[in-house]
Amino acid sequence: MIQEICQKHTDLSSKEIDILNTVSKNLQLVADLYYSDILLYCRIRGGSGLVVVDEIRPRTAESVYSCSQVGRTVEMDPEGAIPQAFLQGKRIRSRSESLPDGYMADIEATPIKREHEVIAVYARMGKVVHPQRPGRKPLTYSDIAEKLSQMIYQGKLHEIDISSFRTHGDGLIEVDQTGRITFVSPNAVSTYRKLGLQDNLLGMKIDELGLDESVIMEALRGMLPREKEVSERGAVVQKKAIPLFQDDKVIGALAIVRDITDLRQKDRVIKIKEITLQEIHHRIKNNLQAVSSLLRMQARRARNEEAKEVLSKAINRISIIATVHDLLAKGKGEYVDFSHILKQVLEMMKASLGDENKEVSFELRGRGFSIPADDMISLTLVITELVQNATEHAFIGRQEGKVLIDFHDDSQMAWVEVRDDGVGLPPGFGLHSGESLGFQIVRTLVEEELGGYIRIRSDRRGTSVKIYLPTFNESHREKKDKEEKKEINEKAQSSSSGR
């Protein structure tokens, strides 16, 4: 957004725009600490006015604006705080601007410079309210925000990304240049109690806590911000720290701590589940391969050609299921890439399908989508049955043919089509009237396992079998699941109240 507006309205270079992108990300922490909106202004090309290239709304307070300010242009009024910051290159404070809702705004304008030249100004916009005695936490937050603003003004945060730092829900600790703790937010107190520290941390030195505080110690030595996960006493805490500068001198450090114990426990449970599922898929694949080997032995001993053909098709179906289980064992997550697995299954089928005197090509097309692993085997079997049927029956009396597999998914419906350029279906053929075991398998899997339906079109130019299915779109399915759970709960509550 910043780059687009700057290129359209300003003369800023790509390097200057990069600086604004970094500073804008860092201003989120400043906005949160100040409980205020921040608008980022640039000069319009030709110096005729100013344009808002970005806005940062606080996550700790309600915004003073009811709609987006990005793209809004204002005149270069020399009496205003923001134009004065551009002209003087200094931080300017005033209460001279009226907000859209009629309130007066407490404005603090800070210039952003590159090589002593002002390239932008960010303005902190706070409503002027009746004076009241603020608590220690807002005062400390405001003081820390002031230090960060001063660092931006001095160019200390132009190329350092602290966008992952936040106060909303996290604990905040400030230490002075000696490592002594000068402020601890309630969330930080709670986090350190989980680490076994019950004493009042205020006034203690960070290196005397008996915990891994290397991130904060590095910040006090003026090193670049970094983060680290610390596992101690059964808890997992994420720690981030940034040095606080005044001119070129480190005057302290700001640390953000977050208790992520529950998150990591959930990660471990998910990891164990994935490993278990992979092992199950691997064992199923091995068992299916053993069954397939037994059927091959039986097929070689069979004297009846019809029996050999039946066993051969059964072996192909089992081999396809085994292949899918093998691919699922190597994958991760509950959703898998349909096109990736289908491509490998089709490669395997080429070696076992068709007549060696007939050249049949396969084309995979369409927008790839991910589907639940539970549906993968059923859908793959449906596609391979249709491909096998086309290969065997669509190209009678011909030396070559083509089978196209197309698929699409959106937020409403998914569909998969298998189309050939063969001779078409015989007269009177219907999905429910055909005696083919392959079509019976397709119909059963589509209607009963996948909850979809089938449409067939056939003429002299070939046959198209199109399968319509409920969407596999993850976000849509999650929304639908929530709606179904809500409906079930409402019915349960209604039933309970009627008793």
Strands 359-366 and 400-409: parallel
347-362 per-position pLDDT tens digit: 777 766 555 667 888 8
- Of 143 and 325, the one with more pLDDT: 143
pLDDT of residue 392: 81
**Could you report the per-residue pLDDT of 22-79, keeping only the tens digit for each?**
999 889 989 988 888 999 999 998 877 999 999 999 988 888 888 888 998 888 877 7
Model pLDDT for residues 150-202, shown as the tens digit of each residue:
888 888 887 777 777 776 678 889 999 999 999 998 888 988 888 888 888 88
Instruction: Read off the pLDDT of residues 440-482 as tens digits, 9 standing for 90 and up.
Output: 888 888 888 888 999 988 888 889 999 998 876 555 455 555 5
Torsion of CA 187, 188, 193, 194, to 10 degrees: 80
| DSSP secondary structure letters along 239-269 | EEEEEEEETTEEEEEEEEEEE-HHHHHHHHH
What is the per-residue pLDDT across 200-214, written as a single tens digit (0 to 9) for each?
888 999 988 888 888
Please determine, for residue 332, whether its predicted confidence score (pLDDT) is greater than 70. no
Q: How far apart are CA 87 and CA 43, in angstroms?
A: 11
User: What's the average model confidence in pLDDT over 383-397?
Assistant: 84
Full-model pTM: 0.57
> Of 70, 157, 147, which Cα lies nearest the Cα of 114?
157
How many C-beta atoms surround the C-beta of residue 422 within 10 A?
A: 23
Predicted pLDDT of residue 291: 83
- Structure confidence at residue 372 (pLDDT): 79
Name residues whose C-beta falls within 8 Å of residue 472's C-beta, 6 or more positions apart in sequence. 335, 338, 369, 370, 371, 372, 375, 409, 414
pLDDT of residue 433: 56
Q: How far is CA 391 from the centre of its chain?
A: 41
Buried b / exposed e along 41-66 (16+ C-beta atoms within 10 A): bbbbeeeebbbbbbbbbbebeebbbe
CATH no., domain 2-153? 3.30.450.280
Better-predicted residue by pLDDT, 344 or 387: 387
Q: How far apart are CA 354 and CA 352, in angstroms?
A: 7
Which amino acid is it at 440?
A: Q
Instruction: List Cβ neighbours of 224 (8 Å cut-off, separation of 6 or more).
Output: 160
On the CB side of 290, CA atoms within 13 Å amount to: 6
The 3-state DSSP class for residue 313 equals helix
What integer pLDDT is reported at residue 111 of this predicted model? 93
> Would you tell me how many other CB atoms lie within 10 Å of the CB of residue 200?
10
The confidence score (pLDDT) of residue 101 equals 53
Contact call for residues 255 and 216 (beta carbons, < 8 A): yes
Band of pLDDT at residue 110, cut at 50, 70 and 90: very high
* Per-residue model confidence (pLDDT) at position 174: 92
Instruction: For the domain made up of 355-499, give the CATH fold.
Output: Heat Shock Protein 90 (3.30.565)
Question: 253 pLDDT exceeds 60?
Answer: yes
| Mean pLDDT, rounded, of the chain | 81
Contacts with 258 (C-beta within 8 Å, 6 or more apart), sequence order? 169, 170, 171, 191, 237, 238
CATH architecture of the domain covering 171-259? 2-Layer Sandwich (3.30)
Tokens 């089938």, located at residue: 454
Q: Which residues pair with 419 in a beta bridge?
A: 404, 464
CB count within 10 Å of CB 174 equals 21
